[in-house]
Every structure is written in C-alpha cells, then in structure tokens.
A and B are shown apart, each in its own frame.
Chain A
Amino acid sequence: MNTLLKLDQVETFIGQYHILQGISFEVPKGEVTVLLGRNGAGKTTTLRTIMGLNPAAKGSVQFKGEEIKSLPTFTIANKGIGYVPEDQGIFAGLTVEENIKVAVKKENDETRQRLDWILELFPDLKKFWKKPGGLLSGGQKQMLSIARAYVNDNELLLIDEPSKGLAPIIVEKVMESIQQMKDKTTIILVEQNFMMASTIGDSFYIIDDGRTVSNGSMNLLREDEEMRRKYLGIA
C-alpha cells in the first residue's frame, strides 16, 4: 500500500484549548513529508496526536490501514512508529548507551547493524558512549534522539524541528542523516527552517491555526513565493 499514515479531520483539545481543528493529510511510504507552519499552528500537537500523547478527540488516524486513534502511546510506538520530540527527550541521567538501550526492542543482528550504521553517521555518540546524556551538546542530543528512533526497524519516524537551535554545520549533518534514512524508512518532518525542509522534503502540508490549509509537492512550494510568504512568513 502506498499510504502509510492517514489523518482525516483530526481535532485535538489540550485542556479546554481547541488546538487542532481539522488536520487531514496522507503520508506516502518511502517519502519525507514535511509539515510547515508558523509558531503555534499545531504542528507539534499533530505529531503528539499521532503518538497518542494528546489523543484525538475527533477524526481518524490510520496507520497502515488500521485505526490507531484510541490506542495507548506504547502500543502505537510498538506498531513501528518512532518519535523524535522537539526537546529531544534525552534521559539526562542515563548514558548514551543506556539511552539507546531503553529504545531497543529486539537485540538481534538487524538492530546491531542499524546501530552500527547510525553510529558511523554520528561518531560523536560513540565518543560519548558511556557519558551521561545530560553532558551532550544540543546537536549531539539531537543526534542521539534520532539514533534512538532509528535503531528499531520503525516504518515511520516523526521528527520535530531537528534543526532548532543548532549551528548550521550541525544542521547539515542532521539533514544528511535524514536524507540517508529516506530509503530505509518513511519520515514526517516538522520544520520551520524552510531551506532545510525544501532540500530533503518530497511533499508538504501547511498547517495554520490548527488546520491543514495547503499541500503539494515540494517543487511547488519552492517556486511559489506568495504561498511561502502567506503561510510561512518568509520569502
């Protein structure tokens, strides 16, 4: 099947705040789908809704044809969805090794291969292997968070603003890693950094005020300056 994840008119409340008021999109398998939008639009909440951390009040969330809207977070994660949250979610008191160990579901050759591969990509993690996660720099934490999501053979990765607060050279590295993961897994990327998003993204959806307002192939957005200005506030 080509559509890995499908959201249909999803609405989410946080307390009494109606954060998501109608999110609909489809994520094709093997591609990088980018969620764009201004601050406060609802992009992070969308990812959290998919993961079940803020369950959808209305609408439907289907993963590989199965409705996952009401499932507990850990069940959703075990269906093969990895999450790299905005704050990276690193366990500061645990070592890099332990951080990854928490994530590992099956200790088999495949996992070891994936771990080796990602450590090649992020040699810093090997260097800090036995050091507490709290000592890592912002960029290294991001790498660890990505590595943790990648180490299992997850079919879908949700990555929330990986470039935020990072130096350009680190951003490049992170981008490169996501680029290389493309053929192994499907990715939903939330990004405000349009340069980055347009480089690796295949298709996009723009979220504004809790609604999906526009979508298309990345080429479209690269060319349409007016759309960019209207929804992203940039030229």
Chain B
Amino acid sequence: MYDSRSMLILLSQVFIFAVLAMSYDILLGYTGIVSFGHAMFFGIGAYTVGVFMKRFEPETSYFLLAVLVTILLTAVVSYFVGLLTLRLKSHFYAMLTMAFAGLFLVLAEKWRTVTYGNDGFTFRVPDFLKDRTDFYLICLASMVIVFILLKRFTNSPLGRVLQAIRENEQRTESLGYSVLQYKVIASVVSGVIAGIAGILYAVSLRFVNTSVFTMDITLDALLMTIIGGVGTLVGAIIGAGIIEFSHHWLTALAKVHWIFERWIIFFGIIYILAVMFFPQGIVGSLQKLKFRKKKTTAVPVDSETISQGDS
C-alpha cells in the first residue's frame, strides 16, 4: 500500500500544512479575524527561498539568509496590511485581504524575470535538506516547535487579550486595550509563521510557481482549521492530517471512480456543516462536551442595538 518513502513525504506535507493551519488558527481561532489573503505570506516564504536558492548558491548560509528575509518580509507586509485593514469591519477585511493576495498573485505572474511567471522554476537545496528522512525530521521539529511557541503565546497575557477580542471586541476596547494594535500583533505572528510554512513547502517540492499565492492555499488553511477545531492549535494539526491524508487517498481512488477527483466537495460540505453546527470543530466540540456553556439566540437587529442599552 505505502512504501515508507511516500509515507515520509506525505507526513512531511502534513507537518508543513499543520504549521500553516496553526498560523491561521491564531488569526481565526484565537483573535476571531477572518483573513482570505493568508496565501500572501505562504507565497512570500516559498518564493523567497526559491529565489535565493536559484539566484545564489544552494548553500546553508543562503538558506538561512532566505529564512531571515522571509521573516522580515512577512512581518513588514503583515504589519502594514494589518494596520491599514484591521480597523475595518470583518466583511471589508475579508475582501481586502482577498484582493491583496490577488495582487501578489498578479505580481508573481507578471514579474517573470524573478518568478518565471506561471510556469515557476525548480531549484536545488542545501545538502542538509536533501535527505528525505532528515527533511521529514526537520518538518516534524518545526511543527512541534511552532506548536510549543504558539501555545505559550496564546497562554501569555497578550494571547489572552486576543481571545478577549474574539469574544467581545467592544468590551475589550472599553476595558482600555487598543484592539487594533493587538490585532496587528496577531496578524504579524500569523504572517511570519505562514511564511515559514511556505519555505518548507517550496523546499519539499524543490519547485515554486504562482500556485502558492492562490486562494486554494487559503482555503486549505481554512478547511483544516475549521474541521480540526478553531482556537485549539491541536485542531489545526489534526485538520491538516485529515485533509492531507484524504487528499492522498481520495485522489488515488479517483482511478476507481472519477467522483473521487472531486473529493474537496466532501470537505466543503463538512466544512459548511461544521461552521453551522460545530464552529468549534472536532477538538472544540469534544472540549465543549466536557464544559457546558449557555448560548443566546440571535434576532435580526442592527449592531447599534447592543450599545443602545436602556433608559
């Protein structure tokens, strides 16, 4: 069924996407921000390492430089994009991030001298990344380290403020916190980690093209986070596992029947049901069974109502 090599590659993919999903979870699960432009940062990481390996030597030193540049670039971009757009209502932010990601995609397509357009380019990697098993271990380590770091981040006072923002933004603001600043911080942390995932992804393929900037990447992150469980970090890892394994198995089954080619519909439907009934995903729902909470139902009102209060 599997040889150990393809399993190794598959698991590496799982770890890489787990990192991406965890970065998305910081935004969506912990701060309550819906970004449709996450591919932006993933792509920046992928192209940076690709360009560095291609333009310069596939040496460790240049690789580390690429990592550094990625962190800088993603931080800067996420900072400025965040500063400009996070003050807007969620709908607008979603649209704008979608547009920005689209801009990066167009940029990658047109700037052929650097990116080779849609076709993309292959590149060689430094020696220490060449062995599949070593790379697998590096991906695994990355995922674990990112998990530990983010877990600490979310449990820190800063992380708790983000969660408060997710629960009730107005209240958090009225308690004296500059909500915009905190959101930007979340955006930067999330963007940088996504960039790292992009680096690993490009290295795993030794190839990069415009697909790293497409909506598909953002959708992947979305599906994984929601299905696995928002706001748990573990959920992101589980979600990545589920999606990647299903992708692998179901496309293999496509030889049996063409319908499996469209495996993503299955997840699309699960995703819709999850958003509707289990916004907390698998992990969250299990957690919820432990600790019951009360909910109030929504009535069609304008947002001013909540602050209207009483007299």
Contact = CB atoms under 8 A, between A and B. Distances in A.
Interface residues on B, range: 10 to 19
Nearest to B305: A53
A45 interface: yes
A14 interface: yes
A44 B296 contact: no
Given A39-B311, A43-B311, A53 B299 contact: yes
A233 interface: no
6 contacts: A13-B296, A19-B309, A43-B310, A45-B310, A52-B299, A160-B311
A179 to B, nearest CB: 23
B256 to A, nearest CB: 50
Interface in A12-46: 13-15, 19, 39-45
B301 interface: yes
Contacts of B311: 39-41, 43-44, 86, 160-161, 190, 192
B59 to A, nearest CB: 58
Interface residues of A, number: 22
A40 B310 contact: yes
Of B296, B301, B305, B311, which is in contact with the most chain A CB atoms at under 10 Å from its CB?
B311
B310 A19 contact: yes
Nearest to B311: A44
* CB-based closest 6 A-B pairs: A45-B310, A44-B311, A44-B310, A42-B310, A43-B311, A19-B310
Interface in A69-91: 73, 86-87
A133 interface: no
Contacts of A19: 309-310
A41 B310 contact: yes
A37 to B, nearest CB: 8
Interface string B160-196: 0000000010000000000000000000000000000
A42 to B, nearest CB: 5
A125 B311 CA distance: 28
B4 interface: no
A14 B299 contact: no
Contacts of B297: 55
B4 to A, nearest CB: 54
B306 A15 contact: yes
B310 A53 contact: no
Contacts of A190: 311
Given A15-B168, A44-B308, A86-B308, 10 more contacts: A15-B306, A19-B309, A39-B311, A42-B310, A45-B310, A53-B299, A55-B297, A73-B299, A86-B311, A160-B311
B24 to A, nearest CB: 28
A232 to B, nearest CB: 13
Contacts of B306: 14-15
A42 B310 CA distance: 5
